[in-house]
Amino acid sequence: MLTVIDRYVMLEVAKVFAAIVATLFVITASVLFLRSLEEVNLGALNTETAWRYLSYQLLRDSGHLLPPAFFLAALVALGRMARDSELIALQACGVGSVRIYRSLLYLAVPLALLTAWLALVVQPEASAKIQVIRHLQGDQATQIAGLQAGRFYQPDGGAITFYAARFDADKRLQGVFLRDHRAATPRLVLADLGYYQETRNGGERSIVLQQGRRYDGAPGTASFSISAFDRYQLQLDSPEPGPVTRSKESSRKTMDLLDSEDPSDWVELQHRIANPLALFALALIAIPLTATSPRQTGSGRLMLALVTYFAFFNLQRLAEDWCNLGVTPAWLGSLWYQPLVVLLVFALLAPRAFWQAVRIQRLWSFIYSRYRVY
């Protein structure tokens, strides 16, 4: 059963955690949104694809936001309680670090389950969807749908060269240049107006040109012809993406990684498991990094908390790279950095009374061995 103290500590940490997660989510969404707009500006994505691409990226990266957010929330909430002398009051009432740990674990367990679901299930599916969108960036319909004025496009492996000089107020194309090499006879089409259309039911995509001229064949040959038209429609091939080919480790299903014997697949599996485990590792070092007494200096512990934060997540990438390159043995894996960081923090912030008791014991042993009475 949750006690009053457990509910109070969990509520304080949960409020800060929600604020930090919302802030990190907004920052991440803003950065990804700017990158998506850049690709839309370059014509690699159309508007509809850009929104789906952005949503899949947010789902892919959401699992990485929870462990650092929980660590920062625990530090901020416990630091506020320490400044208001609430932790000292709790210690005076017999509520020590073990009870605080228990309260943090009550909150860390459901967050770890959520992080595990995001890392093991949602992340590979979102990565697979992103891979499909990246593959469709080479499709001619996708390129033409996201075209920009004043840029040349060569979809279908360069068999088609498309150019639009500008857009009018109705978003129609003006000054259209089209070179089609797909047939045996080359074709050049120039048009004053044009627009892109897509049927809702069948999903057929095409470019419709108006008031233009068409040049078929090679100039100077007998088969060369010139014709004018009022309407010319170019059908664009837009095949369905079909089944997802999960070529990257990040897009492969977790069960496939479990059945694989490839070392890179095992590193990817450990990378997904690292996020849920990081919640418990960071919860263990959150309390020692909090100055619980007014006599303890908070600036040194704050600096150590920042160093620990950056070292923890930088060591994660370093351990994965070492495991991929074979620098560390395969049996060690890539999760060794978590217990290492926890042990280092506890070694640096061991209770002063412990070291004082060690010094007294050594001094007493020295005196007894030097001046003992036979």
Mean pLDDT of 295-299: 56
In a domain, 299, yes or no: yes
Q: What is the pLDDT of residues 205-255, one digit of tens each?
A: 677 888 888 888 877 777 788 888 888 887 765 545 455 555 577 778 888
Q: Please give the residue that has the higher pLDDT: either 29 or 168.
A: 29
Q: Give the model confidence (pLDDT) of 2-59 as tens digits.
A: 788 888 889 999 999 999 999 999 998 898 888 877 766 655 566 667 788 888 888 8
Same domain, 121 and 190: no
Q: What is the band of 374 on the pLDDT scale with cuts at 50, 70, 90?
A: very low
CA distance 86 to 98: 16
Highest mean pLDDT among 164-168, 249-253, 328-332: 328-332
The pLDDT, as a whole number, for residue 117 is 93
Q: Comparing 335 with 166, which gets the higher pLDDT?
A: 335
Question: Count of domains in the chain?
Answer: 2
The pLDDT value given to residue 41? 62
Percent of the chain with pLDDT over 90: 10
Q: Phi first, then psi: what are they for 189, rounded to 5°?
A: -125, 130
Cα 233 versus chain centre, distance: 42
In this structure, the answer to whether residues 123 and 250 fall within a common structural domain is yes
Q: Above 60 in pLDDT, residue 313?
A: yes
Tell me the three-class secondary structure of the chain, residue by residue: CCCHHHHHHHHHHHHHHHHHHHHHHHHHHHHHHHHHHHHHHCCCCCHHHHHHHHHHHHHHHHCCCHHHHHHHHHHHHHHHHHHCCHHHHHHHCCCCHHHHHHHHHHHHHHHHHHHHHHHHHHHHHHHHHHHHHHHHCCCHHHHHHCCCCCCEECCHHHCEEEEEEEECCCCCEEEEEEEECCCCCCEEEEEEEEEEEECCCCCCEEEEEEEEEEEECCCCCCCCEEEEEEEEEEEECCCCCCCCCCCCHHHCCHHHHHHCCCHHHHHHHHHHHHHHHHHHHHHHHHCCCCCCCCCCCHHHHHHHHHHHHHHHHHHHHHHHHHHHHCCCCCCCCCCCHHHHHHHHHHHHCCCHHHHHHHHHHHHHHHHHHHHCCC
Residue 330 lies in a domain: no
Residues 118 and 57 in one domain: yes
pTM (two decimals): 0.69
**Residues 269, 257 contacting (CB under 8 angstroms):** yes
The pLDDT value recorded for residue 195 is 76
Instruction: Give per-residue pLDDT as tens, 70-106.
Output: 999 998 888 888 888 888 888 788 777 788 888 888 9
Domain boundary among 193, 216, 236: 236
Does 142 reside within a domain? no
Q: What percent of the chain has pLDDT over 70?
A: 76
Question: What is the model's pLDDT at position 198?
Answer: 67
Please say whether the dihedral angle defined by the alpha carbons of residues 174, 179, 183 and 187, taken in this order, is positive or negative: positive
- Tell me, what's the pLDDT at 236? 66
What token pair was written down for 252? 């492969």
Its domain, for residue 318, covers 4-137+246-325
pLDDT tens track for 171-213: 677 888 888 877 777 888 888 888 777 665 555 667 788 888 8
Place of tokens 């899949």: 56
Domain end residue (candidates: 325, 341, 357): 325
End-to-end CA distance of the chain: give it in Å, rounded: 59
